[in-house]
Structure 1
Amino acid sequence: MSDVPVDANAGCPGTQSGNAGKTSACAGCPGQASCASGQGPPKPDVSGVIDRLSEVKHKILVMSGKGGVGKSSVTTSLALALASDPKVQVAVLDIDLCGPSIPRMLGVEGEGVHQSADGWAPIGVKDNLCVMSIAFLLDNKNDAVVWRGPRKAAIIKQFLTDVNWGEIDYLLIDTPPGTSDEHISSVQLLMGAGSVDGAVLVTSPQEIALLDVRKEISFCHKTNLPVIGVVENMSGFSCPHCKECSDLFPSTTGGAAKMCEEFNIPLLAKLPLDPRLAKCMDDGEDFFEKNSDSPLAKNLLDLAEKLKEMVQ
């Protein structure tokens, strides 16, 4: 497996190039000096990651280049869908450090992390679902996380090395929008440890969202991170009364289906917008328990089964 480049920007010449560390795209990159000397970027210490994740069967990143497409709600819903099978153990790692919303969505906002000789204990949501987030380490839920890249990288590594995950079937890692520090750090550590199944990319139908998701696909290709598939979220509006689904956002360029065809990657699901999901997540309630008859609930359960098949 090739090294993950320190800088995944489009202008990065790559660590094996004769121009590595010498182009304008290299300015400001922490690996510039080592690349220019021919040594390449230093490899992260992944021994602790290997040890801690040894009992985690599948590690899946949930990503999107675009904010506001419902990536965290898809992560939360997918985790609950997987955990609807009591024999499946599920965990969520929230590395959206500046906007950690998953604890609220899972109804465990305000909980605190407990530390033992075995490391940090993730917060239990139900018997077979747990979560870890920076939100549990903040004194006040309104506190802003104003950190530079190195500190972000350090806390992500700490989540992967110090949390006592135990035996987990599926670890879903919710990332922030974009292709920056959090993504590079998590991909470096997971791929360096040889333990990541790939990424699920979330988009909405309109071209303004697809533009940024294409950049996320480029990031995955540059870092050798497999793309499991794409989820088109908010793909129509599902009326909670009549169950009819109508278009909400225009897919003027063919939506996620056209993009997936362009890049030859699977379209995993088209999820309609159901206002009951937003209410459940605001209230920290299980959408599947309260709305089992919803078309969205069926689509999410189908997505969970498809994901199981693709990473087994």
Structure 2
Amino acid sequence: MSEKGCNNSSCDKSSCEGCPSKQGPASFQVDANEYSCIRRVIGVVSGKGGVGKSMVTASLANRLAAKGYKVGILDADITGPSIPKMYGVHGPAEATEDGKITPCYTENGIALMSINLLLPDETAPVIWRGPIIANVVKQFWTDVIWGDLDFLLVDMPPGTGDVPLTVFQSLPVNEIVMVTSPQDLVQLIVRKALSMAEQMNIPVKGIIENYSYFKCPDCGKEIQLFGKSHIDEEAAKLDLKVLGKMPVEPAFAEAADRGEFHRVENPYLDVDFE
């Protein structure tokens, strides 16, 4: 796309019949709208904030889009949305006559919906109670015209509160990716988030460690800023696959600050959803 911003979907009602996301709700799941056909839903989860979950979400989306898949990102982190800024995408998202919402699109063609694309002032804080926030996330599934997508990545808020519970119960999540950092305290919190996923019967694809090290720009030595990583041992205990060890990479942060994350190719991830 030549311009970052909002655009109408070309998907029509007839093209979405028979799609997996249209097979009807099971348990507490809700239906996607008649104009959305989403084949796989991947949740990106963390036990606590500040571990780079949004950067992992965007990196995975870029990777899939580069392979030719049709990809979307549902930014479920309502009180701390960062995905639109990373891609330099601004609203307002447009509404249709029947009350549906069209997503915005990144430069590399990723469909995107975030609360920042609906607010009159994208810098305004979202001071809402949990149930209201959870309902907004559910509406991002039911009311956004996602069109024909191979993958929808859900960037979830940290922890095990209302919103993750709503996503797990209301959306047909196929599997989740867990994001963590090397600190021992974070590893403890990861176990809580994994336990929640297990209780909700959501398969875990694997775990990604961020901030694993910093490579000295002069000598190339890998410096472990947060101490020695124990991700391999922890993953083995939990019977999980390590999907990547991401260093502190200033170039990624700079691209996000410039709104040019669509240019980022993250070589530190080993994730295959095919």
Kindly provide the amino acid, as one letter, of the partner of residue 91 in structure 2.
E
> Is 1:99–2:76 an aligned residue pair?
no
> What are the Cα deviations for residues 175-228 of structure 1, in whole angstroms up to 9, with x where unaligned?
1111000011111111xxxx3211100001111211111111011111111111
Change in Cα spacing, 1:165 to 1:61, as seen in structure 2 (3 Å) is same
Question: 1-side partners of 2:97 and 2:147: how far apart?
Answer: 14
Question: 1-side partners of 2:29 and 2:178: how far apart?
Answer: 27
Secondary structure in 2 matching 1:224: coil
**Structure-to-structure mapping, 1:1-312, within 5 angstroms:** 44=28, 46=30, 48-49=31-32, 51=34, 53=36, 55-85=37-67, 87-108=68-89, 110-117=90-97, 119-126=100-107, 128-190=109-171, 195-239=172-216, 244-251=221-228, 255-286=230-261, 288=263, 297-300=266-269, 303=270, 306-308=271-273, 312=274
Secondary structure in 2 matching 1:114: coil
Question: 1-side partners of 2:150 and 2:49: how far apart?
Answer: 28
Kindly provide the amino acid, as one letter, of the partner of residue 155 in structure 2.
D
- The number of equivalent residue pairs is 247
> What are the Cα deviations for residues 207-262 of structure 1, in whole angstroms up to 9, with x where unaligned?
121111111101111111111110011111134566553322113xx522111111
Secondary structure in 2 matching 1:61: strand
Kindly provide the amino acid, as one letter, of the partner of residue 188 in structure 1.
Q
Change in Cα spacing, 1:88 to 1:287, as seen in structure 2 (3 Å) is closer
Which of the two has greater helix per residue? 1
Secondary structure in 2 matching 1:228: strand
1:10 aligned partner:
none
Kindly provide the amino acid, as one letter, of the partner of residue 197 in structure 2.
C
Shift of 1:91: 0.6
Change in Cα spacing, 1:115 to 1:50, as seen in structure 2 (3 Å) is closer
Secondary structure in 2 matching 1:187: helix
Question: 1-side partners of 2:217 and 2:149: how far apart?
Answer: 34
Change in Cα spacing, 1:127 to 1:80, as seen in structure 2 (3 Å) is closer
Kindly provide the amino acid, as one letter, of the partner of residue 203 in structure 1.
T
Question: 1-side partners of 2:218 and 2:33: how far apart?
Answer: 49
Shift of 1:130: 1.6
Change in Cα spacing, 1:144 to 1:272, as seen in structure 2 (3 Å) is same
Is the contact between residue 124 and residue 130 of structure 1 (CA under 8 Å) also seen in structure 2? Answer: yes
Is the contact between residue 277 and residue 287 of structure 1 (CA under 8 Å) also seen in structure 2? Answer: no
Structure 1 unaligned regions, length at least 5 = 1-42
Q: Taking structure 1 as the reference length, what is the TM-score of the superposition? A: 0.74
> What are the Cα deviations for residues 133-165 of structure 1, in whole angstroms up to 9, with x where unaligned?
011111222211111222122211111011111
Bigger radius of gyration: 1
Shift of 1:84: 1.8
Question: 2-side partners of 1:282 and 1:140: how far apart?
Answer: 19
Shift of 1:166: 0.8
Question: 2-side partners of 1:68 and 1:286: how far apart?
Answer: 18
The percent identity for this pair of structures is 39
User: Higher mean Cα deviation, 204-213 or 254-263?
Assistant: 254-263
Change in Cα spacing, 1:45 to 1:178, as seen in structure 2 (3 Å) is closer
Question: 1-side partners of 2:76 and 2:168: how far apart?
Answer: 12
2:8 aligned partner:
none
Question: 1-side partners of 2:220 and 2:96: how far apart?
Answer: 48
Kindly provide the amino acid, as one letter, of the partner of residue 100 in structure 1.
P
Shift of 1:287: 6.3
Change in Cα spacing, 1:146 to 1:49, as seen in structure 2 (3 Å) is same
Shift of 1:128: 2.8
Question: 2-side partners of 1:219 and 1:52: how far apart?
Answer: 31
